[in-house]
Structure 1
């Protein structure tokens, strides 16, 4: 660390791509013995990672026109409307706030698009998340079944 104004100016002089101050600091680090301490892993980090990699059981409730995943007392939902016997409007996707950002909506979207493809239906995308998902997935089978 610079201790005076002359040291501050000294830092800007470059020698071989490194400032003289940086070179001096690197030499002092090499000559100093460093003690390593074990680190503790934060449980919430690994829990979050496991949750995002977990596969979820997506269920389809045709009577209520929704795909859903049970998440304890909560549930994540992708709702749709039947426009005609061959066209669905994928209207809304919702995941409980505490579980957002963990890939749950992606599982719902995949199940809905797979359903549309397997039943040879058309899908209108009203939900902005599903528009984004379809664009990012770049699955030709999905985009082939999307209508305006």
Structure 2
């Protein structure tokens, strides 16, 4: 599934339109150097197609490119990082 993921800094989220629905990865910024990924949502019609993984990957790549550390409050993000060793270096100590 091809996704056009958009980053909205004002609302602190990465989103992708899926038909007339929207998938999102929300985050908070407890400090300038930290992104806390707090919530992932994928519409029921698009679940099981890798949408959440693509959103999470986009968010983590953004964090890495911008020198941010990551907190994975969202259990889906935590599970993704646990399974993908190359992103574990981004986790805040």
Measured against the shorter chain, the TM-score band is over 0.9
Give distance in 2, aligned partners of 1:84 and 1:71: 31
Taking the aligned partners of 1:82 and 1:123, their CA distance within structure 2 comes to 10
| 2:78 corresponds to | 131
Relative to total residues, which structure has the larger strand share, 1 or 2? Answer: 2
Rounded to whole Å, the distance in 2 between the matches of 1:55 and 1:135 is 25
Structure 2 counterpart of 1:118: 65
Structure 2 residue 18 is the aligned partner of structure 1 residue 71 = yes
Cα RMSD, aligned residues only: 1.0
Q: Does 1:56 align with 2:3?
A: yes
Structure 1 position 55, deviation (Å): 2.6
**Can you list the C-alpha shifts for 1:69-100, whole angstroms capped at 9, x where unaligned?**
01121000000001011111100000001211
Whole-Å separation in 2 of the counterparts to 1:103 and 1:143: 20
Runs of 4+ displaced beyond 3 Å: none
Structure 1 unpaired stretches of 5+? 1-53
Partner of 1:102: 49
Q: Which has the higher helix share?
A: 1
| Gapped regions of structure 2 (runs ≥ 5) | none
